[in-house]
Structure 1
């Protein structure tokens, strides 16, 4: 059974993000929304993935609602999927996809509509916002891929939000950088070098946008090319903060890279970050003149909590409103109160009861240590 997940929808009232929809329902949904958008002269896009119930991804694409390109998602796949170039060992996946969409699509929704765009009463500026090639971007992925990649963004640790912002700006200007999309597609298929070579060429021509600069800096940081990263932005604090914020790196790798970066470009921010990863919370709280991002405020809140400075942790929490940290603080206070009560009882009892209370205190102290 195939299902569809839409994400990065520009109109969540019509198309919800991250909702799993059976393929047959998605066909009906896309046709209904497409017709509504045509009638209302609206135009918006949503990315989507087609998966099986185990989360294996068979197709990624973009549906442009109100564009008149496809009356529903079935027709888009029926036209584009056979044209995708895939390795021979993945051909069976394409055939499975094509067989399933034929099986799952109601007959009435397979009928081909004929539209003469000459008579479409849409604003020319709206039509120009989505070029045919841009609306037909698609990616056939191996069955080993996980639906979890929706939350992780690019599988090679690029920042998808930055790319989407860049794309949105191009759309807003009424034009799309075709090369940008082509290299993006190539990167998603595993050839990230092509994409970053393209960004480097833009940098040489001083044509990098802010979002593209962030993407390129992050690539350099992941690769350990710190001098190149700093050459793109002389603000070493900004560059090191991007390294800290990179969600594609584990804490262990991040710690090593920040340590190396700090040797080349020492900053108070890097000292603060390293103290956090090394669990040296006293040092962290004593590092002064630090650029406090939300992430660092969360780190500072946690440091206060680990040192038992609950009131300070609560105060710092106001600067980041992290719900997980809030729950930890509440739990810490409950455990601390329970330990205090048990410690008060301890001198008043003996024998087995004393041993039992001691065990309870030890268990609660251990839970505090794990917070």
Structure 2
């Protein structure tokens, strides 16, 4: 679940340094944006976006300028800012993933972008015109006259195009019919007729939205149509492997890897098979947070504690941190037991060797279970 924390904001409506559920934050920012628009004021609010499961990693950091009319709410603000940034392929994937997370559970009313005509004139203070110089006032009045003539021209144009009403109406009817057909296809798909939906997606795959693409990919994955799935994402088998891994279906990943191997699927399968040394030898892997956790664990299990702690900084997993601490503790205790057993053997103290060996076995069970 996404949460928002405002760090700098001089308005008591939103408390600073307090976690707010993302949907509630979007709702509150929409109310405040409207308030400052009506008051013709602007105020800035710095914030960062996090996941409740991950306490320290900011998914997005920014500043919302309330009253600026840049965006009606926090969701639209972040989405527009992300779309303005030039990104590489990996960053584009991260952007799509973040937008999907934001849209999860967000009511449709908050997803609608607004169109503000003549936005540059909205903050015009008419009373200031009277204080302008004579030539400046004349310029404004002349411009007003031109706008009036433009309006007359627009009306004349509207009269002229009325004759084309039948053509426009016919086009709208065709558009509505196409939309109804699309809705019917989706309805059949939801009722279990996946072939109908698959045929539709296959015929229109070059014009699919990101959400439609995800639905299509899941259907292809379910039917094990891996060739079509890879083709859908421009033969990026590593990306598909990541998609399957996120779903947690290791059998599906094995089946996909058989025909479309990649560094990503190799890495994930080695982790599933507990082949940690081989896993660490795999290079050029798309390192997601989940894979960073896998790498941290593999480093720990192979005794590379210093490297495991360094990798831990990339995922901030508290459970892994606790495991590394326990691993170090038990590793030290096992070493001490080995030394004690050696001393007991040298002293030919059979009973003591037996007792120490039993304790060591119990400790090894705990060690191996980490």
- When normalised by structure 2's length, the TM-score is 0.49
- When normalised by structure 1's length, the TM-score is 0.49
Higher helix share: 2
Which of structures 1 and 2 has the bigger CA Rg? Answer: 2
Higher RCO, Cα 8 Å, sep 6+: 1
